[in-house]
Amino acid sequence: MAENPEEKVSKMKEEKKDELMENFQYFKDYLGDKVEKGEKLGMDDSSLTKYAKKIADYLAKNEVPRNREEYLLNEMWNVANEDERDKIAHVLVKLTDRTNN
């Protein structure tokens, strides 16, 4: 997970990005795979949360929500302060980690 998450998402093929953004389950699975890889590399919850926050920041600034779950997350992200965004990112990590189990 050495590559900047924003760069990784921006370089993603449009077809793959569309697939992830149109189906929230695919998005959770994708993020869950990244969380699992991070855990295997020894990243702690704090590092995983920072990574998730960078992805969420990128998505909020550069992508249009394509389903109601993403729309809700986008709305929450845009009204949240930095501390609240940390908490949202942490909850996303927990959600995706639970999805992988």
Domain residue limits, the chain = 13-100
In angstroms, rounded to a whole number, what is the distance separating the alpha carbons of residues 52 and 5? 8
What CATH number should be reported for the domain whose range is 13-100? 1.10.760.20
73-100 mean pLDDT: 92
Per-residue pLDDT reduced to its tens digit, 6-50: 676 666 677 776 677 778 888 888 888 888 999 999 999 999 999
CA distance 94 to 88: 10
Q: For residues 19-28, b (16+ Cβ closer than 10 Å) or e, as one string?
A: ebbeebeebb
**Residue 79: predicted pLDDT:** 97
Predicted structure pTM score:
0.77
| Centroid of chain to Cα 98 | 14
User: How much is the average pLDDT of 51-73?
Assistant: 90
pLDDT over 80 (residue 4) = no
| pLDDT value, residue 1 | 47
Average pLDDT for 65-88:
95
